[in-house]
């Protein structure tokens, strides 16, 4: 299992220096999103919850301007193959950077920097009594949970998966999960429970075994804040994979600073993006979510 000990706040994961060039090996539709893969010949295997800064090596910046800076992406799956580590990313095209990445074709080049940031910690490191995990994802935030579920499964740790989407257009990524025991919710009712995915979490947290599970969440800020509050009210430990606007990804620009629960700030790119629910004042991060 990759994450066996909960990194403490301020304890940083060191990434390989500099950016590396990779080749795109596939790009396929997954509902309203796309999954593209790149072969990283020289990098280490990432841990679930970590992210990469990505930029296409053509059609990026130059005379046309945007997209200029690399964009932050959670790793959605990773597998060592002959020739390197296959990295899968799930993308929702919402602006110039994500649209260019969503259009990458096999054979094109991709600049990657990473794996970066603090990953998910094993359930027993999040809560000593935790025998299993509850993974809850919303929208494009399902990405890091796919890799986390695989790693938990490999370690023989039971995980229940709850995924929610706004509507059919803003849904996808289920191909990454390759399992049948997912519970789904959608606000428009096109699949699963009609309503919020946090409704499903509420039911699970009412159960007797709730206190023996650690909750892991990634999704839009409002969903993450609801999860944080629900877990805090019930005394259930949780980790949240947060987003903030990230210009550099390695601690230099301070653009991703968010308030700590006690006092002061953390830089989400190096102290997160995965944080414990009780470490932050709120999951409603300004400038994040779409």
Ligand X SMILES: Cc1cc2nc3c(=O)[nH]c(=O)nc-3n(C[C@H](O)[C@H](O)[C@H](O)COP(=O)(O)OP(=O)(O)OC[C@H]3O[C@@H](n4cnc5c(N)ncnc54)[C@H](O)[C@@H]3O)c2cc1C
Give the pair of three-digit tokens for residue 85.
């580590």
Using CB under 6 A as the binding rule, whether residue 192 contacts ligand FES is answered as no
Calculate the CA dihedral of residues 248, 254, 259, 262 and round it to 10 degrees: 110
253 binds, among ligand FES, ligand X, none (CB under 5 to 8 A by kind): ligand FES
For ligand X, the binding residue among 2, 37, 98, 170 (CB under 6 A) is: 98
* CA dist list (Å): 199 to 132, 137, 241: 20, 12, 19
> d(Cα 227, Cα 217) in Å, to the nearest integer?
7
Shortest gap between Cβ of 223 and ligand FES (angstroms)?
Answer: 22
For ligand FES, the binding residue among 90, 217, 218, 256 (CB under 6 A) is: 256
Using CB under 6 A as the binding rule, whether residue 32 contacts ligand X is answered as no
94 binds, among ligand X, ligand FES, none (CB under 5 to 8 A by kind): ligand X
130 binds, among ligand FES, ligand X, none (CB under 5 to 8 A by kind): none
Nearer to ligand X, 65 or 264 (CB): 65
Count, residues near ligand FES per rule CB under 6 A: 12
Nearer to ligand X, 186 or 288 (CB): 288
The interface region with ligand FES, picked from 13-21, 116-124, 196-204, 245-253 by CB under 6 A, is 245-253
Q: What angle do CA 236, 212, 74 make, to 5 degrees?
A: 65
- SS3 of 273, please? strand
Using CB under 6 A as the binding rule, whether residue 158 contacts ligand X is answered as no
User: For the chain, how are helix, strand and coil distributed in percent, rounded to 5?
Assistant: 25, 30, 45
Shortest gap between Cβ of 146 and ligand X (angstroms)?
Answer: 10
Print the binding letters for residues 174-213 with ligand X: x by CB under 6 A, - otherwise: ----------------------------------------
Closest alpha carbon to 218 in 154, 159, 164, 170: 164
What are the phi and psi torsion angles at 32 (to 5°)?
A: -85, 0
Exposure of 118 in the CB half-sphere (CA atoms within 13 A): 27
Using CB under 6 A as the binding rule, whether residue 255 contacts ligand FES is answered as yes
Nearer to ligand FES, 10 or 107 (CB): 10
For ligand X, the binding residue among 3, 48, 90, 122 (CB under 6 A) is: 90
Sheet holding 182-186, edge to edge: 193-194, 182-186, 159-165, 132-138, 213-218, 238-241, 274-276
159 binds, among ligand X, ligand FES, none (CB under 5 to 8 A by kind): none
Using CB under 6 A as the binding rule, whether residue 161 contacts ligand X is answered as no
Strands 109-116 and 51-56: antiparallel
């Amino acid at each position: 299992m990759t994450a066996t000990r909960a990194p403490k706040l301020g304890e940083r994961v060191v990434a390989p220096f500099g950016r590396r060039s990779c080749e795109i090996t596939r790009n396929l539709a997954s509902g309203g999103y796309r999954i593209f893969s790149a072969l990283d010949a020289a990098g280490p295997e990432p841990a679930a919850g970590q992210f990469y800064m990505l930029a296409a090596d053509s059609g990026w910046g130059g005379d046309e301007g945007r997209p200029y800076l690399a964009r932050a992406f959670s790793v959605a799956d990773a597998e060592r193959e002959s020739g390197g580590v296959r990295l899968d990313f799930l993308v929702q095209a919402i602006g110039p950077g994500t649209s260019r990445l969503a259009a990458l074709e096999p054979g094109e080049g991709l600049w990657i920097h990473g794996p970066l940031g603090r990953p998910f910690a094993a359930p027993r490191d999040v809560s000593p009594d935790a025998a299993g995990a509850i993974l809850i994802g919303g929208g494009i935030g399902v990405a890091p949970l796919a890799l986390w579920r695989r790693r938990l499964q490999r370690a023989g740790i039971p995980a229940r998966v709850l995924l929610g989407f706004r509507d059919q257009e803003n849904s996808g990524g289920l191909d990454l999960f390759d399992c049948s025991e997912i519970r789904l919710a959608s606000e428009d009712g096109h699949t699963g429970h009609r309503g919020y995915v946090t409704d499903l979490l509420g039911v699970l947290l009412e159960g007797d075994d709730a206190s023996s599970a650690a909750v892991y969440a990634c999704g839009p800020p409002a969903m993450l804040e609801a999860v944080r509050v629900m877990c805090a009210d019930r005394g259930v430990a949780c980790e949240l994979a947060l987003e903030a606007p990230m210009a550099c990804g390695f601690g230099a620009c301070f653009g991703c600073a968010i308030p700590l629960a006690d006092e002061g700030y953390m830089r989400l790119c190096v102290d997160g993006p995965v944080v414990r629910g009780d470490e932050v004042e709120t999951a409603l991060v300004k400038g994040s979510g779409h």
